[in-house]
Amino acid sequence: MRHLIPEFEKMKARYPAGFESSLVLPCLRRIQDDRGFVADSDIDGLVAYLGVPRVQVEEVLSFYTQLRRKPIGRWHVQTCRNVSCSMRGAERLIDHLRKKLGVAPGETTADGRFTLSTVECLGSCGTAPVVMLNDAYHENMSAEKVDALLGGLE
């Protein structure tokens, strides 16, 4: 994480003095974007940089579902299964993805390409069902569209 410190310093400039604790979550998010997950050495580095207790960093890591301690597949396929998406076919779509990828939600394909997850409402219910592929939303999805989307990926 050391190479990210200049970025963290820039971020800090817009916080009031004494808000170091607030930087835990944004720094963890940035570290994860960089490495794909948060490693033990990142926690050590962050504790030293921010001067916050280690337990605070660990608590934050275990509370927020988007943060992870282990690597996942190159492509993270997250399918919303809340009310509005289910009303427009999300359950069929999830079944399709299970069969297509041969894994259950929470699992990664053996070749390390895809991790399948289910998520709750993504705030995109008007274009249901919604699939998130890494950071990007893909809306109004169907089995055919998801095949086309995943088909072109490494």
Verify binding: residue 143, ligand FES, rule CB under 6 A: no
How far apart are alpha carbons 88 and 32 in whole angstroms?
32
CA distances for 22 relative to 8, 10, 19, 40, 130, angstroms: 12, 14, 5, 20, 31
* List 132, 143, 149, 150, residue binding another protein (CB under 8 A): 132
Residue 102's nearest CA partner among 90, 110, 91 is 110
How far apart are alpha carbons 13 and 15 in whole angstroms?
6
Nearest approach, Cβ of residue 33 and ligand FES (Å): 22
Verify binding: residue 84, ligand FES, rule CB under 6 A: yes
* List 101, 116, 128, 131, residue binding ligand FES (CB under 6 A): 128
Verify binding: residue 82, ligand FES, rule CB under 6 A: yes
Given the DSSP bridges, would you call strands 131-133 and 75-80 parallel, antiparallel or unpaired? antiparallel
Which region, judged by CB under 6 A, interacts with ligand FES, from 43-51, 57-65, 106-114, 120-128? 120-128
92 makes contact, choosing from another protein, ligand FES, none, with CB < 5 to 8 Å by partner type, with: another protein
* List 39, 67, 72, 149, residue binding another protein (CB under 8 A): 67
Site for another protein in 76-105 (CB under 8 A): 81-84, 86-89, 91-92
Nearest approach, Cβ of residue 14 and another protein (Å): 5
Answer yes or no: are the C-beta atoms of 23 and 15 closer than 8 Å: yes
Q: Which spans of this chain sit near ligand FES (rule: CB under 6 A)?
A: 80, 82-85, 121-122, 124-125, 128, 130
